[in-house]
Structure 1
Amino acid sequence: MEKVKCYKLKNGEQRYKFRLFAGRDPLTGKYKYVNRTGFKTQSEALQALAEVQQDIETGEVFALPEHPTFKAVYKQFIKQHATRVKGSTLYNIRNRFKSAILPTMSDWKIENITPLMCQNVINEWATRYTSTGTLSMLKSDVTMVFKFAMRMELVNKNPMSLATLPRMQKKDIRDKFYTKNELKQFLECAKQQEQLMYYSIFYLLAFTGLRVGEALALTWGDIDFKRKMLHVNKTVSMNEQGKRVVGKPKTATSTRVITLDNSTLDVLKKWYMKDRGLSGDINASKLIFHTERSKDKLCQAPMIKQVCLRICKNNNLRYITVHGLRHTHCSLLFEAGASIQDVKARLGHSNIQTTMNIYTHVTNQQQEKAVALFDKFMQA
């Protein structure tokens, strides 16, 4: 009550105001205050005061309270981080905080968080998520908030750095891609049971190694049928609001030109003739893959996943993710004798680690075959 004060205007009318300490500006370190004036009644001023106090406590205003919660610091961090990352990255980070991190850590005073508390959080995550990659991302997200807090001199250490990830059961890398025979069977089932567009998508992914977003962003002008070339220069990704939009490729090396084989070109030509009809020059700006209702709207990745699941379930096939068709292409390229650098360039990798993991698996298989041939020779 004492924070709201009465004052008079020059004409004698009565007004109310308040001045509220709002903590330190995280960018300058200076103490900040919120001043509000001009309220006609005391109740109006008190209501506004309560709203400002709530904003300060949750980090909605520019400054932080004296003893901020983890959520308040996170909100200041995400404002700054938003200027440094792509919309799709920001969307994913916010989703991870909303679903996994904030439900537990929101109300903890950031200065009181200990390594044990962080370890308990990680252990709880491990009961819900089976992927080491997911746990690692969550730990990294929390670490970024603590590093931001350290730069703002709110804390002097990062307790999450002392917590460790539990040992998770490693997935067999073979779960990520098909063998040559499995791929042939999957594509044959897709051809017989699904619309030509979906068959064309799966065929293109498996025979080019495109990312799903890269394939869905393609327009007919990206294909040079005469030179048998495909220009990869854009991708579909999430923006900050969670809407799928066409934007720049994932990395600088993602922009590339790749060669298309005759069978892939034939599949794409058949799809064009069915979808738009052969009427002279191809309309370069039109999407190759689109929704069933509109040829001008992007086909959605979740729908592609749903179709993939249906094919596998109806035909009792081993399921791999749609992205796994990219890994499949990588694997089969190595089996066919392609070099590491050729595969890296074709897939547009900036980091070749995934490619190398598949390469190691393929070469191990080849070594096993070589040993078997040697044993058979020696036993003859």
Structure 2
Amino acid sequence: MAVINTRKRGTKWEYRFESAKIDGKRKHISKSGFRTKKEALEAGAKALAEYNQSGLTFIPKDISMHDYLDYWYEEHCVLNLKYNTLVNYKAHIEKFLKPAFGKYKLSALSSASIQSFINDLKKQGYSKSHTIGIKSTLSASLEYAVEPLNFITFNPCKNVKNPKFEKQPEKRFVISNDDFNRIINRFPPDNIFYTPLMIGYHAGLRISETFALTWEDIDFENKTISINKSTVKRYKDTKNQKEPLGWFFQTTKTKSSVRTIKIGDTLIKALKLARKKQIENKLFYGEFYTRIYQENKIDEKSNEIKKIIEINSNVDISLDEIEMICVKENGEYVSTDSFKYCSRVINHSLKIDFNYHSLRHTHATILIESGANIKDVQTRLGHNSIETTLDIYTHNTERMENETINIFEQAIK
């Protein structure tokens, strides 16, 4: 076992201990600059413990859940997960997991204590999705402690049962044809929300996909839209989200979300009108038209990301200019945050139950009710698996029920 030695060099103290031989030669680890012998010994003991743990600054069996959750977040989550997932995990860690388990050792966590915690979340009124989401975050952290870290031998979350929740109807609104016409009358072609509304209804895109579209993604000749990115609002601190860094392009929700889909003449006509108007506005405003660029940045995973930059003057800069579809008359970017106003008007003024996702849901429902191939619908929506499409969109509607009984009546005649 290595022994910590100290010696005084001038007015300062140094610690020193022997490390493993390299190429058969003895090696030492040392550091000087300490005011007293005691300080040198304490620092040497800490350095030796870290050396014996292959560089870890803690002993795995003694680490607290508070410190382990921070370690897992920084060493795994930040390097491997998408920004929105990081935000959710950080909220779960700080608001729920640290207060409940932070003071205990990682090695002491039991299935019983976790089960009690999960049951309490339900008793406090948290929803099924929120409760299971928190549990999933905890389970993911403990699974990482099992493999690849080998800090613990078993994930105690695996034995924890989800409490029974009464099934709540999901808020998935189908917009009738009459209601959509009312919406479009309220937000006509000269309104900044007309184009994103038409894209959602006629193409079924997610809101983050719609507001990431550029004119390069539209093929007017072949009547297609290419979905290859989405937008996200990033913050300096993922915990409190008080200091926004701006809007960024990010990858789509899943690999299957990258797709090119056909669109009909109605949407083509709307997009051509928007394109024509945008070109006219650019000429009218001239140098005062806001140009949008993308700036390459490095994120917390050391990956290259692209920030959306707006410059409201015609200056020569070394960035790639991009032509966003969703912009104001003067060229300023229209974001998903801006669309919240449109949603409020539809809900409160027009009295229509609405969120942007309801346009996607309506698009899929119309296709399925009209007999579209379910595999084609899956591809069109960018779902990772056909089970997702079947679970969400093949619900019973009044039209489906009527068709079912009509089929039966015809069969027995």
Taking structure 2 as the reference length, the TM-score comes to 0.70
- For the 8 Å contact 2:375–2:386, the answer to whether it is kept is no
Name the one with the larger helix percent: 1
**Greater alpha carbon shift after TM alignment, 115-124 vs 329-338:** 115-124
Structure 1 runs not aligned, ≥5 long: 20-33
Alignment of 1:216-365 (within 5 A): 216-237=211-232, 244-277=247-280, 285-290=322-327, 295=332, 297=333, 299-319=334-354, 321-362=355-396, 365=399
Structure 2 runs not aligned, ≥5 long: 18-28, 239-244, 284-291, 293-320
Which residue matches 1:27? none
Query: What are the superposed Cα offsets for residues 113-166 of structure 1, whole Å, 9 maximum, x if unpaired?
Result: 222221222123335665433322221211122122223333333222222222
Separation of aligned partners in 1, 2:254 and 2:79 = 18
Residues 18 and 69 from structure 1, CA distance in 2 versus in 1: closer, same or farther, beyond 3 angstroms? farther
Query: What are the superposed Cα offsets for residues 218-249 of structure 1, whole Å, 9 maximum, x if unpaired?
Result: 11121122322212122223668555411332
Separation of aligned partners in 1, 2:143 and 2:411 = 61
Separation of aligned partners in 2, 1:107 and 1:118 = 14
Separation of aligned partners in 2, 1:171 and 1:218 = 34
1:96 CA displacement? 2.8
Query: What are the superposed Cα offsets for residues 166-219 of structure 1, whole Å, 9 maximum, x if unpaired?
Result: 22232335x313143365255335426x97221211221111011111111111
Alignment of 1:123-142 (within 5 A): 123-127=119-123, 130-142=126-138
The percent of aligned pairs where both chains have the same amino acid is 23
- For the 8 Å contact 1:126–1:135, the answer to whether it is kept is yes
Separation of aligned partners in 2, 1:274 and 1:123 = 56
Separation of aligned partners in 1, 2:91 and 2:261 = 34
Q: Is the partner of 2:225 in helix, strand or coil?
A: strand
Separation of aligned partners in 2, 1:331 and 1:196 = 27
Q: Is the partner of 2:260 in helix, strand or coil?
A: strand
Residues 77 and 14 from structure 1, CA distance in 2 versus in 1: closer, same or farther, beyond 3 angstroms? closer
- For the 8 Å contact 1:91–1:239, the answer to whether it is kept is no
Separation of aligned partners in 1, 2:338 and 2:5 = 59
Taking structure 1 as the reference length, the TM-score comes to 0.75
Separation of aligned partners in 2, 1:216 and 1:163 = 40
Q: Is the partner of 1:230 in helix, strand or coil?
A: strand
Separation of aligned partners in 2, 1:190 and 1:276 = 24
**Greater alpha carbon shift after TM alignment, 206-215 vs 99-108:** 99-108
Separation of aligned partners in 2, 1:294 and 1:97 = 40
Which residue matches 2:57? 63
Residues 310 and 62 from structure 1, CA distance in 2 versus in 1: closer, same or farther, beyond 3 angstroms? farther
Residues 209 and 39 from structure 1, CA distance in 2 versus in 1: closer, same or farther, beyond 3 angstroms? same
Q: Is the partner of 1:302 in helix, strand or coil?
A: coil
Residues 189 and 128 from structure 1, CA distance in 2 versus in 1: closer, same or farther, beyond 3 angstroms? farther
Q: Is the partner of 2:339 in helix, strand or coil?
A: helix
Separation of aligned partners in 2, 1:148 and 1:62 = 16
**Greater alpha carbon shift after TM alignment, 369-378 vs 351-360:** 369-378
Query: What are the superposed Cα offsets for residues 69-100 of structure 1, whole Å, 9 maximum, x if unpaired?
Result: 11222222221343333344334322332333
Q: Is the partner of 2:62 in helix, strand or coil?
A: coil
How many residues are paired up? 342
Q: Is the partner of 1:245 in helix, strand or coil?
A: strand
Which residue matches 2:78? 82
| 2:209 is the alignment partner of 1:187 | no
- For the 8 Å contact 1:237–1:245, the answer to whether it is kept is yes
CA-based RMSD of the aligned residues comes to 3.8
Paired residue type of 1:357: D
Residues 328 and 313 from structure 1, CA distance in 2 versus in 1: closer, same or farther, beyond 3 angstroms? same
Residues 131 and 252 from structure 1, CA distance in 2 versus in 1: closer, same or farther, beyond 3 angstroms? same
- For the 8 Å contact 1:308–1:322, the answer to whether it is kept is yes
Which residue matches 1:22? none
Q: Is the partner of 1:226 in helix, strand or coil?
A: coil
**Greater alpha carbon shift after TM alignment, 78-87 vs 333-342:** 78-87
- For the 8 Å contact 2:14–2:32, the answer to whether it is kept is yes
Which residue matches 1:167? 164
1:359 CA displacement? 4.1
Residues 84 and 277 from structure 1, CA distance in 2 versus in 1: closer, same or farther, beyond 3 angstroms? same
Which residue matches 2:286? none
Separation of aligned partners in 2, 1:35 and 1:135 = 49
- For the 8 Å contact 1:62–1:76, the answer to whether it is kept is no
- For the 8 Å contact 2:229–2:250, the answer to whether it is kept is yes
Separation of aligned partners in 2, 1:199 and 1:92 = 31
Paired residue type of 1:116: A
Residues 315 and 127 from structure 1, CA distance in 2 versus in 1: closer, same or farther, beyond 3 angstroms? farther
- For the 8 Å contact 1:118–1:160, the answer to whether it is kept is yes
